[in-house]
Amino acid sequence: MEGQEMWMRLSTFMFVISIFDRLKSEFFPAVAYLLRVTGINKLFDRKIDITFSEFIGTDYWKTSRAYQLLEAYLGPKSERAAKRMKGQLPKYSKKLSFTLADFEDIVDVFQGIGIQWYLHKYESKSKYQPERRELRLRFDRKHRETIMTSYLDHVLKEGKTIMVQNRRIQLYSNNPAKDMYEYGNKLWSHGVFDHPVTFKHLAMDPKKKQEIIEDLITFSKGKDYYAELGKPWKRGYLLYGPPGTGKSSMVAAMSNLLDYDVYDIELTAVKNNSELRKLLQNTTDKCIIAIEDIDCSLNLTGKRKKGKKKKKKSDEDSDSDSGSDSDSDDEKSKVTLSGLLNFIDGLWSACGKERIIVFTTNHVDKLDPALIRRGRMDKHIEMSYCCFEGFKVLAKNYLRLDSHELFETIRSLIGEVQMTPADVAEHLMPKTVDRNPEKCLEDLIRALENKKEETGKKQEAKEDEQKKEEAKEEEIAEAKEEEETREEAEEKEEAKAEAEEEAESSGAEEEAAFDH
Ligand SMILES: Nc1ncnc2c1ncn2[C@@H]1O[C@H](COP(=O)(O)OP(=O)(O)OP(=O)(O)O)[C@@H](O)[C@H]1O
Ligand SMILES: [Mg+2]
């Protein structure tokens, strides 16, 4: 009897469950559908959802920028609040980063409003379709205005700042045009830029250095100012001076100061003006675009053009975009001066923000004035031979010395000779195991004295040469004068002889007439 009762109860229970199941699978969705179609559900559901997908559309290799920024924003919050996280060390990042684990959620608070973030994942359906993730944002609809504007703005801005803080500076170089296909059509190749130089290491006049630092910082904070002026947010620097005076080092120091990526353009590897423009279009904001030894690049183009006699001069200024990019027409398709000018301040140059363009050169006088006029190259910085202040910076960096009794000797010598900071640095580099600073200073003093002697000798030789030249010129002038007087005398003699001859012949004629 007991067994039968148990059986009856179990059957009833199973029956109720099956009814409930049926209701759940058929009745409830139908009700939910009805509520949704009629909009009645909105009366009860006060939540709004926004979804941010990991990929752009069906391009599974293009991660959405918004998703990256949101991930960066949620990183520190997940670190503090999430129960499950994913940790990773991204390739170009300085430190470990944490993100929400799949199907995990956290609550963020903004202006007293609670906002729920949830990371959803879709499994991969085929080998061509990777697993996809979505960040979902949920909030009460009465806060729609605040969330859609202020909060999301704040999230993107904050995410950008976190990304910049975490990432390592990149150095990009343009790939040679002919090998573009080998690089998968990529215009730039890049790697982490780990140059340790900062402004602290640069040997130069401290006032000038401070001025440059302030100029750079003012520029980097000038977003609103540039907008007010109606100018694209970019600035050009021309660094000129002899080899080894720190021009390339200055570019690296600028990048380290502002945390900007560096795009190093090898102009001779750029096929034509349109490729130059493409390179520009493919740079990111907040970067330094450096063209080193600009005089050499332009000269090279000039030589190539001169070599081709058939080429008319007017071709030089014409943009060579017009489809003639073939290798056979290589010379025609080189970057021209006008292409470069357009690159710096043509319309395309305004397609990015917060950009610094730097030219370096050893021969500023060789450059076309149009290329370096203010507005294109806003700040001209001369990097010159090492001064005493510069030496002090190097002594501090290389020898940890603020002062020394030998400094006075160096002060007087360094003012008299021209030695580059690169040379001074080389002499200050300890070469013995004991790293004795005095030895280095003595070494530098010897080098400066030798240089002074050498310069003196050169000067003497130059003066001798000049004197010889002058004496030679004098001799030539004297010989010329003598020659002229001799010629004059000869002419006079000839004229006299002619006159006498004429007088004689006219005398004879008169006599003959008289006889007749
Ligand atoms: N002003 C400087 N301050 C500190 N170090 C310097 C300075 N100038 C040169 N050096 C040292 O010399 C090396 C070469 O300098 P850098 O390449 O910056 O010179 P450059 O002016 O770019 O020369 P080039 O015109 O030949 O390209 C640097 O690595 C650095 O060690
Ligand atoms: Mg250089």
Tens digits of per-residue pLDDT, 327-355? 444 444 478 888 888 888 877 777 778 99
Inform me whether the pLDDT recorded for 235 exceeds 60.
yes
Residue 166's SS3 state is: helix
Q: From 194, 248, 262, give the residue whose CB has the most ligand 1 atoms within 8 Å, as the site to mutate.
A: 248
Determine the distance separating the centroid of ligand 1 and the alpha carbon of 248, expressed in angstroms.
6
CA distances for 7 relative to 3, 20, 53, 95, 231, angstroms: 6, 20, 52, 64, 86
Q: Is 26 exposed, middle or buried (0-12, 13-18, 19+ CB in 10 A)?
A: exposed
Tens digits of per-residue pLDDT, 137-185? 999 989 999 999 899 999 999 998 888 777 788 899 887 655 444 444 5
Q: Give the closest residue to 246 by CA, choosing from 132, 375, 390.
A: 390
Residue with tokens 């956290």: 106
Query: Which residue's C-alpha comes closest to atom 16 of ligand 1?
Result: 246
Tens digits of per-residue pLDDT, 79-134? 888 888 888 777 666 778 788 899 999 999 999 999 999 999 988 877 777 788 99
Question: H-type helices in 82-170, by residue range?
Answer: 144-146, 152-166
Answer yes or no: is the C-beta of 384 below 6 A from any ligand 1 atom: no
DSSP letters for 167-210: BPPEEEEEPPGGGTTTTTT-SEEEEE------GGG--S-HHHHH
Answer yes or no: is the C-beta of 203 below 6 A from any ligand 1 atom: yes
Q: Give the closest residue to 54 by CA, choosing from 41, 65, 42.
A: 65
For residue 202, which ligand has an atom nearest its CA?
1
As a whole number, mean pLDDT of residues 28-34 equals 74
The pTM (predicted TM-score) of the whole model is 0.69
CA distances for 416 relative to 53, 264, 405, 410, 448, angstroms: 66, 36, 19, 10, 9
The reported pLDDT for the residue numbered 311 is: 40
Q: How far apart are CA 388 and CA 421, in angstroms?
A: 10
**397 CA: nearest ligand 1 atom:** 4
Answer yes or no: is the C-beta of 296 below 6 A from any ligand 1 atom: no
